[in-house]
Amino acid sequence: MPYTAPLTGVVPPLCTPLTPEGEVDVDSLLRLVDHLVAARVSGLFVLGTTSEAAFLTDRQRRLVVETTVAHVAGRLPVLAGAIDMTTPRVRERVASVADAGADAVVVISPFYAATHPAEIARHFRLVAAASPVPVLAYDLPAAVHTELPADVVVELARDGVLAGLKDSSGDLAGFRQVAAGVRAHPAFTLLTGSELLVDAALALGAHGAVPGLANVDPHGYVRLDRLWRAGDTEAARAEQERLCALFGIVRVGDPARMGRSSAALGAFKTALHLLGVIAGPTTAEPQVPLSQEEVNRVEGLLIEAGLL
Amino acid sequence: MPYTAPLTGVVPPLCTPLTPEGEVDVDSLLRLVDHLVAARVSGLFVLGTTSEAAFLTDRQRRLVVETTVAHVAGRLPVLAGAIDMTTPRVRERVASVADAGADAVVVISPFYAATHPAEIARHFRLVAAASPVPVLAYDLPAAVHTELPADVVVELARDGVLAGLKDSSGDLAGFRQVAAGVRAHPAFTLLTGSELLVDAALALGAHGAVPGLANVDPHGYVRLDRLWRAGDTEAARAEQERLCALFGIVRVGDPARMGRSSAALGAFKTALHLLGVIAGPTTAEPQVPLSQEEVNRVEGLLIEAGLL
Amino acid sequence: MPYTAPLTGVVPPLCTPLTPEGEVDVDSLLRLVDHLVAARVSGLFVLGTTSEAAFLTDRQRRLVVETTVAHVAGRLPVLAGAIDMTTPRVRERVASVADAGADAVVVISPFYAATHPAEIARHFRLVAAASPVPVLAYDLPAAVHTELPADVVVELARDGVLAGLKDSSGDLAGFRQVAAGVRAHPAFTLLTGSELLVDAALALGAHGAVPGLANVDPHGYVRLDRLWRAGDTEAARAEQERLCALFGIVRVGDPARMGRSSAALGAFKTALHLLGVIAGPTTAEPQVPLSQEEVNRVEGLLIEAGLL
Amino acid sequence: MPYTAPLTGVVPPLCTPLTPEGEVDVDSLLRLVDHLVAARVSGLFVLGTTSEAAFLTDRQRRLVVETTVAHVAGRLPVLAGAIDMTTPRVRERVASVADAGADAVVVISPFYAATHPAEIARHFRLVAAASPVPVLAYDLPAAVHTELPADVVVELARDGVLAGLKDSSGDLAGFRQVAAGVRAHPAFTLLTGSELLVDAALALGAHGAVPGLANVDPHGYVRLDRLWRAGDTEAARAEQERLCALFGIVRVGDPARMGRSSAALGAFKTALHLLGVIAGPTTAEPQVPLSQEEVNRVEGLLIEAGLL
């Protein structure tokens, strides 16, 4: 993780392959890393929401970081999530992933307990003060049920607390406000977590993207990023729209039977399984698996997208 | 924790006294246990939301359970929370608190990841199957941002998965539906987490109450419970209304400066400090403390309630 | 509408019978009024949410009030809703229903535009200042998406702005706070809009109830009210639980096919149609009707409740 | 309103100037129309949210349309909102504004009553079937508390029900989905209601913008639109960022004292007053006015933006 320039390009948030018993499938994880590195992504993000970090035990989390870091062997920066509820617990998670070799940590706002923006800022300050590696903030209101205000991010960037932001808020107006506010801090890394608006985010000042769908089609996102940087916005837009269609896989799971996490992560893992990257589509408990008919629809979308 | 009859009466969710450095203040915890036992509460609930469980590390959580269990020495049942995000992590928390001596565990719905009611039911089934002690469900939508549907609770009661429910939903209509549904299961324990509607909940079929404010005024809640059971609903109502006025301490903290957790837990701990039960009002990071003026207002309400 | 004592007992919020073309079915409305008066309700509330007031044109609303007032001919107070978005529009609705003969108006918080509690208070003050008849506030957060804070209600009661409250918030703790706060104002009418917690609300200080289900079973609610007032809380509870089971009709409509309004109002009207009170179950556009299979399930619940 | 090609460019949603007594200030309205026409906007949208349509009586609404249509005299298309709760009421509003001369109507999803997406679609079909002028849908979840799903919009565009969409959802991913879906319908008009993301929306396929802030700085938005169409995306972005800074006027009103409507509409009207376009900043009841200090801060932002 560079301290002096932003991280650019595609940084996939890795799925965590699991055995049918719910253990980390290390062989599949290594193949997934290879699959992504081969597509020339710019970095890897483990233990995020897409990684089912909320479902992994602390031991499993550590195994994921150690495995990934060892396999990557410095070829790319490895960012690791430190998802937990509050400052004291997040500090422990940060220490653990840093000790396991992560180049940077990605830290979310407190959740479960109701917090005030001033407490959110305080959280990031305390966590960063104790972190041996750079800290990026992770804005995911759908998970934590608070907003990370743009002015808080800008203040924390200015004070050197945050080295970057992964924005999964869906609020591009707030993203634009952050982009304008951190322009004075040239090493600050601004990443979008959107699968659907990477070109729009790059136009607003994003340095890169962390799309969960990049597990499935890393080449597509790398192409999109390069086309956009080369100034070919029309071709970038066409690539983005192809990826938007592919993202339809997350709407395959029946909402009458499963939550959004099961549907999205089940679709990513099913696709990776169909592509031969991972050994099986198991998601962690209490998520429910896709039905065979839903698997077939994922397969159909992979074919339409030219991946199968 | 009895398996053959519901737990009745007042089961305070213990605050976790902290040193100024954020460590568990064991001496203060012992005094708090004594303070509650002396008031003739029916059980103790540690590691709930009021206990700041979301802020305690796993080591601290274990210390709280071990300390409480050892000190209580079987005089009262000790229930312990197992607050974590998902099934695999909760299973670990359950094993830990059971190993530390808890008589029952209190388990909340999954949070952080978006879930479906069917996944919530699956979560409780999987957690209970692996638990060495009875499992009570904990319904706290304000923290987990999902509802625990009444029909799910009734189904899990019927199937012997759940031994009880601590309801902090604020939805008395749903509570009534659960009460009607579990009437056929005479050992099922139905507890309200409300500070303000204990008499109403008892009238609807609650067996007992888990009010955070009982840390501050356990005698009041025990009186309310006994008056109600003795059929003196008017006196119970008067006692409840006195406690409603005292509950005003949670609205003292300025919402422009702090979240609801800081305000509520700060008020409880400040009151316990002013009452001489615990050594200091420290709450865990990133919560912010009450100002001196706010402390004075808490003191005023304690005086009005006849506690100082 | 008495000014010197609260209105007590059951005040049904009348359904508005419609012809298949969506016009007010005056004959059915008259039969519905007779059905309710015969059950010895204490007052009638027209143009509320249950009346589909949000779906009626201003001309239709006026027709409903005039028809009801003329038919009741002073035997009972007639309350009328004045549902509209903001102060200037509500003032017009108030003038219209008062001119049409309503004894009191029921006014909801502003909606559509985002408001502050201070603006909500200002709204009630301005509306009441211009109203020729007493004003009751209507707390229905599910429709207006703001809360009507208890302290605002108490302040407006104290200042003589409000003559009463119809509480459909589902928040009994707030209801208790209002009840305690208005005890000093003996003419203030406190009504619950709950179908499921009438006994609990009476115990907390409600004077009466405005349950939509009383269209279908006015005798049941009148019995419940009388039993409770006679001190027979156990029999009142049994009657309430019978009505809770009957309320299952609002969950018959398939949520995959219709919204909650279609399901609830469709169920009430279907039941009234099956009971022979109104000529047909038509609800206003864009609501969708119950299917024949759903109608059959409503019929089954009416039979179980002893109404058919 | 053309039926054969989309409406492009800037279509300001006009503020409705009010006298201190709350009447429509016709002279100020005429000056505001002139102010906008002189800036070469492409159309005018009256009776939208920015117009305080939710606060205007039906008589006032009609006056606004008639005044504007007469003054514009065919130079530009005049779109009019038909904001009301449900299908029967909206049909009346549509008839009224069409009769008053509007070239097209802008219709929002039902609100107040809880609806299902199928009922929302049905609403638009029924309203459009009865409308003498083209119907655009208005997606404003902040007001109606439901989402207008992209697939519903695309289906209604395909079936010729909708002539366009004004999107104020803040969800650019959904906007992109609509844009892709309506590409096959070349006369469909896709407008963004965002003040902050006009360039991004144009890049995604918007034909034009309906920014409330264009009341204050129509020249800025027209410049932005032209720069973007001319392919000078960098200059468009700079203009957009200048307007983002100016939009800070909506955050001047103290949220401890007023709702978002008072703050936003108060700021727009205060700015128009300071710019000499309208005679006074009065907003409709129960909104509260900006304080003198807040007015001064609006003035400061106008100066920074080069408008004063």
Q: How many CB atoms lie within 10 A of CB C229?
A: 12
The 10s digit of each residue's pLDDT in A186-236 is 999 999 999 999 999 999 999 999 999 999 999 999 999 999 999 999 999
The 10s digit of each residue's pLDDT in B183-242 is 999 899 999 999 999 999 999 999 999 999 999 999 999 999 999 999 999 999 999 999
Residue range A55-71: average pLDDT? 98
What ipTM, to 2 d.p.?
0.97
In this complex, do D176 and A199 lie within 8 Å of one another by their Cβ atoms? Answer: no
Instruction: Write down the pLDDT at residue A2.
Output: 47
Please tell me the distance from the alpha carbon of residue C266 to that of residue C278, in angstroms, as a whole number: 13
Angle subtended at Cα B114 by Cα B113 and Cα B115, rounded to the nearest 5 degrees:
110
Residue range C146-169: average pLDDT? 97
Chain B residues touching residue C177 (CB < 8 angstroms): 244
% residues pLDDT > 90 (chain A): 98
Instruction: Write down the pLDDT at residue C267.
Output: 98
In this complex, do B57 and A142 lie within 8 Å of one another by their Cβ atoms? Answer: no
The 10s digit of each residue's pLDDT in B246-288 is 999 999 999 999 999 999 999 999 999 999 999 999 999 999 9
% residues pLDDT > 70 (chain C): 99
> Which segments of chain D have a pLDDT < 50?
2
Q: Is A238 helix (H, G, I), strand (E, B) or coil?
A: helix
Chain D residues touching residue A238 (CB < 8 angstroms): none
Instruction: Report the DSSP beta bridge partners of residue D189.
Output: D164
Q: With cut-offs at 50, 70 and 90, classify the pLDDT of residue B154.
A: very high
Cross-chain CB nearest to D258 (options C116, C255, C287): C116
Cross-chain CB nearest to B119 (options A89, A113, A262): A262
Q: With cut-offs at 50, 70 and 90, classify the pLDDT of residue C3.
A: low
Q: Looking at C8, C138, C192, C283, which residue is catalytic?
A: C138
Query: Cβ neighbours of residue D163 under 8 Å, at least 6 residues apart?
Result: D1, D3, D104, D134, D135, D136, D187, D188, D189
Q: With cut-offs at 50, 70 and 90, classify the pLDDT of residue A6.
A: very high
Please tell me the distance from the alpha carbon of residue C224 to that of residue C221, in angstroms, as a whole number: 5
Q: Which residue of C has its CA nearest to B202?
A: C200
Q: What is the DSSP string of chain D?
A: --SSS---EE--B----B-TTS-B-HHHHHHHHHHHHHTT-S-EEESSTTTTGGGS-HHHHHHHHHHHHHHHTTSS-EEEE---SSHHHHHHHHHHHHHTT-SEEEEEPP-SS---HHHHHHHHHHHHHH-SS-EEEEE-HHHHSS---HHHHHHHHHTTS-SEEEE-SS-HHHHHHHHHHHTT-TT-EEEE--SS-HHHHHHHT--EE--GGGGT-HHHHHHHHHHHHTT-HHHHHHHHHHHHHHGGGGG-S-TTT--HHHHHHHHHHHHHHHTTSSS-----TT--PPPHHHHHHHHHHHHHTT--
Q: What is the DSSP string of A270-299?
A: HHHHHTTSSS-----TT--PPPHHHHHHHH
- Tokens standing for B166? 């601590």
Residue ranges of chain B whose CB lies within 8 Å of a chain C CB: 170-173, 176-177, 180, 194, 196-197, 199-200, 203-204, 233, 237, 241, 244
CA diameter of chain A: 52
Please tell me the distance from the alpha carbon of residue B126 to that of residue B119, in angstroms, as a whole number: 10
In this complex, do A126 and B284 lie within 8 Å of one another by their Cβ atoms? Answer: no
Min Cα separation C238/chain D (Å): 31
Instruction: Write down the pLDDT at residue D2.
Output: 47
Q: Which residue of C has its CA nearest to B179?
A: C241
- Active site residue ranges of A: 49, 112, 138, 166
% residues pLDDT > 70 (chain A): 99
How far, CA to CA in Å, does A199 sit from each of A244, B295, C51? 12, 52, 49
Please tell me the distance from the alpha carbon of residue C101 to that of residue B233, in angstroms, as a whole number: 42
The 10s digit of each residue's pLDDT in C85-110 is 999 999 999 999 999 999 999 999 99
The 8-class DSSP code of residue C110 comes to P
Q: Which of D182, D153, D6, D185 is nearest to D79 (CA)?
A: D6
Chain C interface mutation, best of B182, B197, B213, highest count of C Cβ atoms under 10 Å: B197
Residue range A283-287: average pLDDT? 98
Q: How many CB pairs under 8 A join B and C?
A: 44
Instruction: Write down the pLDDT at residue D68.
Output: 98
Q: Which of D173, D204, D209 is nearest to D191 (CA)?
A: D209
Q: What is the rounded radius of gyration, in angstroms, for the C-alpha atoms of chain A?
A: 18
In this complex, do A288 and B116 lie within 8 Å of one another by their Cβ atoms? Answer: yes
In this complex, do D262 and C55 lie within 8 Å of one another by their Cβ atoms? Answer: no
Q: Which residue of D has its CA nearest to A237?
A: D204
Based on the residue annotation, tell me whether C3 is a catalytic residue of this protein: no
Cross-chain CB nearest to D118 (options C87, C122, C288): C288
Q: Which of B84, B87, B89 is nearest to A61 (CA)?
A: B89
The answer, yes or no, to whether residue C2 has pLDDT greater than 70, is no
In this complex, do B180 and C204 lie within 8 Å of one another by their Cβ atoms? Answer: no
Q: With cut-offs at 50, 70 and 90, classify the pLDDT of residue C266.
A: very high
Phi, psi for B3 (deg, rounded to 5): -95, -10
Query: Cβ neighbours of residue A79 under 8 Å, at least 6 residues apart?
Result: A1, A11, A43, A44, A45, A46, A102, A103, A104, A105, A106, A136
Q: Which residue of B has its CA nearest to A285?
A: B87
The answer, yes or no, to whether residue A1 has pLDDT greater than 90, is no
Residue ranges of chain C whose CB lies within 8 Å of a chain B CB: 170-173, 176-177, 180, 194, 196-197, 199-200, 203-204, 233, 237, 241, 244
The 8-class DSSP code of residue C298 comes to H
Query: Looking at chain A, which subunits does it touch, using at least 3 CB pairs closer than 8 Å as the criterion?
Result: B, D
Q: Which residue of C has its CA nearest to D125?
A: C286
Instruction: Report the DSSP beta bridge partners of residue D107.
Output: D137
- Active site residue ranges of D: 49, 112, 138, 166
Instruction: Write down the pLDDT at residue B17.
Output: 98
The answer, yes or no, to whether residue C205 has pLDDT greater than 80, is yes
- Residue for token pair 């809770």: C244
The answer, yes or no, to whether residue C1 has pLDDT greater than 90, is no
In this complex, do C172 and B172 lie within 8 Å of one another by their Cβ atoms? Answer: yes
Cross-chain CB nearest to A261 (options B115, B260, B284): B115
Chain B residues touching residue C170 (CB < 8 angstroms): 171, 173
Query: Cβ neighbours of residue A300 under 8 Å, at least 6 residues apart?
Result: none
% residues pLDDT > 90 (chain B): 98
The answer, yes or no, to whether residue A3 has pLDDT greater than 70, is no
In this complex, do A177 and D203 lie within 8 Å of one another by their Cβ atoms? Answer: no
The 8-class DSSP code of residue B24 comes to B
Residue ranges of chain B whose CB lies within 8 Å of a chain A CB: 22, 49, 52, 54-58, 60, 83, 85-89, 92, 110-116, 118-120, 122-123, 126, 142-145, 255, 257-262, 284-288
Q: Which residue of A has its CA nearest to B125?
A: A286
In this complex, do C115 and D257 lie within 8 Å of one another by their Cβ atoms? Answer: no
- Tokens standing for C277? 């009170």
- Tokens standing for C43? 């007052």
Query: Looking at chain D, which subunits does it touch, using at least 3 CB pairs closer than 8 Å as the criterion?
Result: A, C
Residue range C77-92: average pLDDT? 98
The 10s digit of each residue's pLDDT in C136-156 is 999 999 999 999 999 999 999
Instruction: Write down the pLDDT at residue B4.
Output: 74
Q: Is B155 helix (H, G, I), strand (E, B) or coil?
A: helix
Q: Looking at C67, C115, C166, C269, which residue is catalytic?
A: C166
Instruction: Write down the pLDDT at residue A245.
Output: 97
> What's chain B's average pLDDT?
97
Instruction: Write down the pLDDT at residue C5.
Output: 84
The answer, yes or no, to whether residue B2 has pLDDT greater than 60, is no
Chain C residues touching residue B199 (CB < 8 angstroms): 203
- Residue for token pair 């220490």: A95
Query: Cβ neighbours of residue C28 under 8 Å, at least 6 residues apart?
Result: C17, C277, C278, C279, C280
